[in-house]
Structure 1
Amino acid sequence: MQLNSHTVLRHMDKHTATYSERETHMRFTFADGGALQTVLTCLVSALCASLCAAAPVSQLGVFAQPSVSVHNGHTTTLPCWLSPSQNAEGLEVRWYREGHYDSPVMLYRGKKFESASQSASYVGRVSFGPKDAASTGLVAGDVSLMLINATLEDAADYICYVTSERGYDSGSVKLTVTGKKAKEEVDAEENVTLDQKENEYLKIIENRKLRDDGDKIFPDGQNVTCLTAIKGTPGFTSGQHYWEVSLVNKATGLKQSWWLGATSASVIPQDKDFIPTPSNGYWFLSSRADHFQFNTEPNVVLPVYSRPEIVGVYLNYDSGELSFYDVQKQSLIGSLTTTFTGEVFPLFNPGKNDKTPMEIIHKPVQGQSDNAENEDPTISAGKNDTAPPEEVHMTGQGQSSDTENRNSTAQ
């Protein structure tokens, strides 16, 4: 039989290299169609093998999850991995925001992290993180980026760029950051009070106004420790709870030193050497003159863009969320996630050498005013008449969209 023209076309495209085999015309005459098929198969196989050997194809295949969404203040992972799986410990991994290659979010090279060119806003907030529970990390080609305390400004398109001696490849992840209302899911706003147990290092007024006793000599010096910490009541074993604390005074200004959070400890040890951590039942946000800090292990430091006058504390026992809000600016300062067990109590610490007290804000009891006389002229606070924070969504394009204004408050 006679075979008409047969065309073999092969394209190979990797990055900037493109290889195309021109059309090849072959005319054969065979008595046996089976022999023809065999010959053609061999010719095509040989041609493909020759082209593949000649083309410098990258041995890397980088894949990424297209998009990730996270709440403002939470930790998230931007999944990126190599396929087929290979050890990435000796590779260069560069994470950067699209258009900012030279100021990476994170740069791993020579089996270590490089910080010289790192974007300043990501210092201390990024590392490798597992893309899923089964991941074994770099050894299996997982090069995912973990981002701690995501902010609205972090919303962007992120590039995961991996380089080896054999080639390079990249993947892209769009990060969306959402803010949310402080009280939209709260069962009831709590009128929290301070534990009535005596503490020689504290001045407590009306069981809700608190500062350190400046006349005392502290055995722990200038360090803020559990010596000045105190529990609140009631305790919680389920549900969602919210309380607000004023940190401003007309006479003394904004409070600089404080802890706010929660504890599962039945008794707070009066021990200057005791270190409160999540592993022993303490979760809190602390404030110093130049930064905020979560007592996580390791600690997470947050920059201070502005100091809150009123902090809202939201505790969701069932989901393990503990969030802190700047009530007047209607924004989330940051969040912790954990697993609560047993009874959990509000936690307060007014710090040291700070004349401004902290005051737990109580909602007025029906039929009564909230104008109780102050026993200490330095202990007074403004009332909260602000609406809860609106929900905001920030996308990789840096645009925001407000959700429907529900103006909901906990009752």
Structure 2
Amino acid sequence: MRSIIVLLLLNLLTDCSVSFTAKVPPGPVVAHVGSTVILPCWISPAQNAEALEIRWYRHEDFRYTVLYFQHGKIQDEQEETFRNRSSLTPRSDLSGGLKGGDVSLQLEKIIIQDEALFHCYVNGDSDYSSAELELKVTAPGSAPVLFPRPLDDGRLNVSCSSSGWYPEPNITWTSDQRKTLRPAAVSLHRAADGLFSVHSWTTVSPSDAQLVSCSVSTTTGESKEGKVDIQGFISSDSSDLWKPLFLTLLICALLGLAGLILYKYRNILTGKKAAGPDGENLPVQERKGYIEVQMSDNAYENASVPVDMNIEDLRKHAEQITIDRENISPDLTVSGDCKSVRDSPKYHHTAEEFPYQLCAFGAQQFTSGRHYWELELALPPNPPKLSWLIGVVKHKHFSGKDRSALTPSRGFWFLCSDGENGFNTNTDPPITLSISPRPERLGVLLDYDEGLLEFYNVKERKHLLSMHTRFSGSIVPLFNPGVGDKSPLKIVDCPVEEDSPAELTVPSQSNCSAENITEA
């Protein structure tokens, strides 16, 4: 009996003193920003690790502890950035977890700063071992956006922009014959979150290519490509087409000038008083603005993603925007001051598609100049809104129940945040954007004369998106608060420069229509 007990004790001591080795897979582990990743590590030969000391750390220093396990539980000793993001998780369903010697680390909500060399350290009573594992972080940016502009020598200047990349991306230009084009310039910008934006441009002759392609890629294998048909652009913007239009406009201008001189001369001869500036005493055919040159709304549509801007300069063009109560979806609720709008409590949205029909419109109309306004998308303690649509629309183009009806050709231009589906535009083709962080306050700049609509993350002082088009007629702000968010969509009044000259706009007739609008 004693011999049996002694033999058992010897076996137990032998088991406790068995040496082990920490093992990790070869090569680095790659993870996307925002994802969850498992860094595999196990001990060999397999044995129960519940009684062992397990420490994951970085930079070859215990002080940079990611996770510390001892006495059967995780200890409160770790880098603050990994708190509530790290845990011990089996690398597979067959590993057996801690009891099978699996000491793998799981990291959630990966950020760029997580990229490092991780150390897996395991310590027992009589032995210890460690292994190194590299974590590489990647971020596939947005699809490249190309925008061509004609040059005086007949060539085209084609720009390419993309954002949200990591590591630092490379940009490659090619033609439809897969011939490599040399970029005239490439610029990179790194934001505070570590993500890169890239902008480049090249010049190309229409005789050398029909399609121009811009590819953005990283050394980790991420790649996205954008293309533009420059022949189609040339055909729609050819100087040959502009020549007869220019001659027609010149003739009309000369005839109009001659008629104005004769009219004023007639007033002098007859002693009649000339009509007021608004032309209220003039015949309809002679009123100011009666003859207009209409440009095609969808002659060209594109978007680009630049970088930072000066918000103070933008606010020099600030407008006092309100919501038009007379033209609003019945499923929306508007505040008494016509500054806030949200989905009605009685509205139930069951479809998976964004509720495009929940549109509200600004009471202010713009026919020229630069105009800027801001919208609050996060009212503390609520998080930023996930669902919204913000932009501009032609006055009285207020119908449309789905995405197919809200197009630039029908007078709509906007940026949409479709919850977990991300950000997109209604350009042709649509563009999906990678915008981080999610805007808490959005700035909108309308430059009517330049055909430009721009969006800004005011808090981060970031220029998010530029949309290029051609406006005609009256343009009004467009708002859609989406559904399901706790916060409403709120228009914020910006400070206006006291010495800004005033420009008259035409407000719509509504309960919250504005008086004259000042514009810098």
Give the structure-2-normalised TM-score. 0.41
Q: Which residue of 2 aligns with 1:304?
A: 435
In the alignment, which of 159, 176, 190 is matched to residue 319 of structure 2?
A: 190
Which letter maps to 1:127? K
- Provide the C-alpha distance between the structure 2 equivalents of 1:353 and 1:229, rounded to a whole number of angstroms: 15
1:126: how far off?
A: 1.6
1:322: how far off?
A: 0.5
Q: Tell me which protein shows more helix as a share of its residues.
A: 2
- Provide the C-alpha distance between the structure 2 equivalents of 1:74 and 1:262, rounded to a whole number of angstroms: 27
1:77: how far off?
A: 4.6
- Provide the C-alpha distance between the structure 2 equivalents of 1:129 and 1:263, rounded to a whole number of angstroms: 27
1:127 aligns with 2:248: no
1:327: how far off?
A: 0.5
- Provide the C-alpha distance between the structure 2 equivalents of 1:319 and 1:70, rounded to a whole number of angstroms: 26
The superposition leaves residues 82-124 of structure 1 with CA deviations (integer Å, 9 ceiling, x where unpaired) of: 9xx66799xxx99677xx7x77xxxxxxxxxxxxx5x34xx2x
Share of identical aligned residues, percent? 27
- Match of 2:409, SS state, is helix
Change (3 A) 1:248 1:202: same
1:270: how far off?
A: 5.6
1:336 aligns with 2:436: no
Change (3 A) 1:181 1:353: same
- Provide the C-alpha distance between the structure 1 equivalents of 2:229 and 2:199, rounded to a whole number of angstroms: 11
Structure 1 residue ranges without an equivalent (≥5): 1-59, 104-116, 137-146, 153-178, 367-409
- Match of 1:262, SS state, is strand
Q: Which residue of 2 aligns with 1:223?
A: 353
Whether the 8 Å CA contact 1:203–1:211 is kept in 2: the answer is yes
Q: Which residue of 2 aligns with 1:149?
A: 304
Change (3 A) 1:193 1:201: same
1:292: how far off?
A: 1.1
1:289 aligns with 2:413: no
Which letter maps to 2:304? N
Change (3 A) 1:307 1:339: same
- Provide the C-alpha distance between the structure 1 equivalents of 2:491 and 2:427, rounded to a whole number of angstroms: 24
Change (3 A) 1:79 1:130: farther
The superposition leaves residues 116-162 of structure 1 with CA deviations (integer Å, 9 ceiling, x where unpaired) of: x5x34xx2x522453996599xxxxxxxxxx963455xxxxxxxxxx
1:66 aligns with 2:150: no
- Provide the C-alpha distance between the structure 1 equivalents of 2:216 and 2:352, rounded to a whole number of angstroms: 41
In the alignment, which of 203, 218, 229 is matched to residue 79 of structure 1?
A: 203
Q: Which residue of 1 aligns with 2:333?
A: 203
Q: Which residue of 1 aligns with 2:135?
A: none
Whether the 8 Å CA contact 1:263–1:283 is kept in 2: the answer is yes
Whether the 8 Å CA contact 2:456–2:465 is kept in 1: the answer is yes
Whether the 8 Å CA contact 1:237–1:344 is kept in 2: the answer is yes
- Provide the C-alpha distance between the structure 1 equivalents of 2:230 and 2:312, rounded to a whole number of angstroms: 32
- Match of 1:333, SS state, is strand
In the alignment, which of 382, 395, 398 is matched to residue 252 of structure 1?
A: 382
Of the two, which has the highest radius of gyration? 2
Change (3 A) 1:79 1:310: same
Change (3 A) 1:324 1:216: same
Which letter maps to 1:213? S
Whether the 8 Å CA contact 1:241–1:315 is kept in 2: the answer is yes
- Provide the C-alpha distance between the structure 1 equivalents of 2:316 and 2:487, rounded to a whole number of angstroms: 31
- Match of 1:79, SS state, is strand
1:348 aligns with 2:479: yes
1:272: how far off?
A: 4.7
Q: How does 1:375-386 map to 2 (within 5 A)?
A: none
- Match of 2:474, SS state, is coil
Q: Which residue of 2 aligns with 1:181?
A: 310
Q: Which residue of 1 aligns with 2:399?
A: 269
Whether the 8 Å CA contact 2:315–2:496 is kept in 1: the answer is no
- Match of 1:279, SS state, is helix
- Provide the C-alpha distance between the structure 2 equivalents of 1:339 and 1:70, rounded to a whole number of angstroms: 29
- Provide the C-alpha distance between the structure 2 equivalents of 1:327 and 1:287, rounded to a whole number of angstroms: 16
1:226: how far off?
A: 3.6
Change (3 A) 1:70 1:281: farther
Which letter maps to 1:78? T
Aligned residue pairs total 248
- Provide the C-alpha distance between the structure 2 equivalents of 1:255 and 1:289, rounded to a whole number of angstroms: 8
- Provide the C-alpha distance between the structure 1 equivalents of 2:230 and 2:479, rounded to a whole number of angstroms: 34
Structure with greater contact order relative to length (CA < 8 Å, sep ≥ 6): 1
1:325 aligns with 2:480: no
Which letter maps to 1:210? V
Whether the 8 Å CA contact 1:78–1:131 is kept in 2: the answer is no
- Provide the C-alpha distance between the structure 1 equivalents of 2:216 and 2:347, rounded to a whole number of angstroms: 51
Whether the 8 Å CA contact 1:263–1:347 is kept in 2: the answer is yes
Change (3 A) 1:365 1:242: closer
Change (3 A) 1:215 1:251: farther
Question: Higher mean Cα deviation, 240-249 or 60-69?
Answer: 60-69
Which letter maps to 1:261? G
Whether the 8 Å CA contact 1:245–1:358 is kept in 2: the answer is yes
Change (3 A) 1:80 1:359: same
Whether the 8 Å CA contact 2:397–2:410 is kept in 1: the answer is no
- Provide the C-alpha distance between the structure 2 equivalents of 1:330 and 1:321, rounded to a whole number of angstroms: 19
- Provide the C-alpha distance between the structure 2 equivalents of 1:79 and 1:343, rounded to a whole number of angstroms: 35
- Provide the C-alpha distance between the structure 2 equivalents of 1:273 and 1:354, rounded to a whole number of angstroms: 21
